[in-house]
């Protein structure tokens, strides 16, 4: 029996957590035993940075895309910040169900949950399920031999944005190494709408799961966005040159910090 089938055979039950967040309490619905759900907090570095950037990053009535929404923590924050609609993308069917419950529990009328993966081009791809943590699911044609694959539909940001009646103003991407492909599939949207982008930068998932050179990802970001910022030790610094890229990677490796966040924009912070 595959890991995926054993996951369903256990028939995991759902749980509810109430977190203190911007705009009041935030209700999160997830699977009991899921490390991500049980440890989710707005006090973590990534969530704190994300919350601080939303006020200046989400513009007017533009659409916001939460790519890799999981059970909806960042979705709720996005919905409370802007006036426009939020589209929360989660390809894993059971996690998608919890995302829908989180949206309902918080009364988010401006959020639409989308059971779809986004990437470089449309089609289908294997989805590798981590039964311990919903934050470690992977959409990849070759995710290091992980078991429990199902096929999930995949589209592109550009194809989805073409169906909207407004520009995209903000994009959050946390996709376990699939970030470069998602950005490649968003090229027309980025050029047209110039959204602000908050993206995870994880050395392990980029190299081991997607076979992507992290330095190349940073180089591509600099070619696309006039401003790219990294976050560390409570502050932010621009990545404005090849030297900055090398220094950033050196710092991550020597401090054993494999996972950080980047903020990419068309105007300075």
Written as one string, the DSSP assignment of 175-198 is -TT-HHHHHHTTHHHHHHH--EEE
pLDDT value, residue 49: 87
Judged by average pLDDT, the poorest of 101-110, 135-144, 221-230 is 135-144
3-265 classified as CATH 3.40.50.150: yes
In the chain, beta strands by DSSP E? 14-21, 24-31, 63-67, 86-89, 111-114, 117-118, 123-128, 138-139, 149-155, 168-173, 196-202, 227-232, 235-238, 259-265
Q: What is the residue-wise DSSP string for 65-108?
A: EEET-TTSHHHHHHHHH-SS-EEEE--SHHHHHHHHHHHHHTT-
Could you read off the pLDDT of 10-62 as tens digits, one per residue?
A: 434 579 999 987 788 999 999 988 888 888 888 777 788 888 888 778 888 89
Ranked by mean pLDDT, which of 78-87, 89-98, 159-168, 253-262 comes out on top? Answer: 159-168
**CA–CA separation, 73 and 69 (whole Å):** 7
% the chain with pLDDT above 70: 87
Q: What is the mean pLDDT of the chain?
A: 87
pLDDT value, residue 8: 38
> Torsions phi, psi of 94, nearest 5?
-65, -45
Would you say 3 and 129 are in contact if contact means Cβ atoms under 8 Å apart? yes
pLDDT value, residue 57: 83
Would you say 148 and 2 are in contact if contact means Cβ atoms under 8 Å apart? yes
């Amino acid at each position: 029996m595959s890991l995926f089938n054993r996951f369903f055979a256990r028939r995991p039950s759902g749980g509810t957590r109430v977190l203190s967040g911007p705009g009041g309490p935030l209700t999160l619905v997830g699977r009991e035993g899921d490390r991500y759900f049980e440890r989710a907090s707005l006090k973590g570095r990534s969530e704190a940075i994300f919350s601080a950037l939303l006020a200046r990053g989400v513009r007017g009535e533009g659409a916001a895309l939460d790519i890799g929404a999981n059970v909806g923590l960042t979705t709720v924050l996005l919905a409370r910040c802007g006036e426009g609609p939020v589209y929360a993308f989660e390809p894993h069917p059971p996690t998608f169900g919890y995302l829908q419950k989180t949206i309902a529990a918080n009364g988010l009328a401006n959020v639409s949950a989308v059971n779809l993966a986004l990437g470089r081009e449309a089609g289908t791809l294997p989805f590798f399920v981590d039964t311990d943590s919903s934050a470690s699911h992977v959409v990849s044609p070759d995710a290091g031999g992980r078991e429990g694959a199902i096929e999930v539909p995949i589209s592109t940001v550009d194809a989805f944005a073409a169906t909207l009646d407004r520009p995209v103003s903000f994009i959050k991407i946390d996709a376990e190494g699939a970030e470069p492909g998602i950005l490649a599939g968003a090229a027309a949207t980025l050029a047209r709408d110039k959204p602000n982008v908050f993206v995870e930068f994880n050395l392990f998932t980029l190299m081991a799961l997607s076979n992507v050179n992290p330095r190349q990802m940073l180089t591509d970001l600099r070619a696309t966005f006039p401003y790219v910022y990294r976050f560390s030790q409570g502050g932010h610094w621009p990545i404005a040159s090849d030297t900055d890229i090398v220094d950033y990677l050196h710092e991550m490796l020597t401090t054993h910090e494999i996972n950080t966040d980047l903020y990419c924009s068309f105007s300075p912070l």
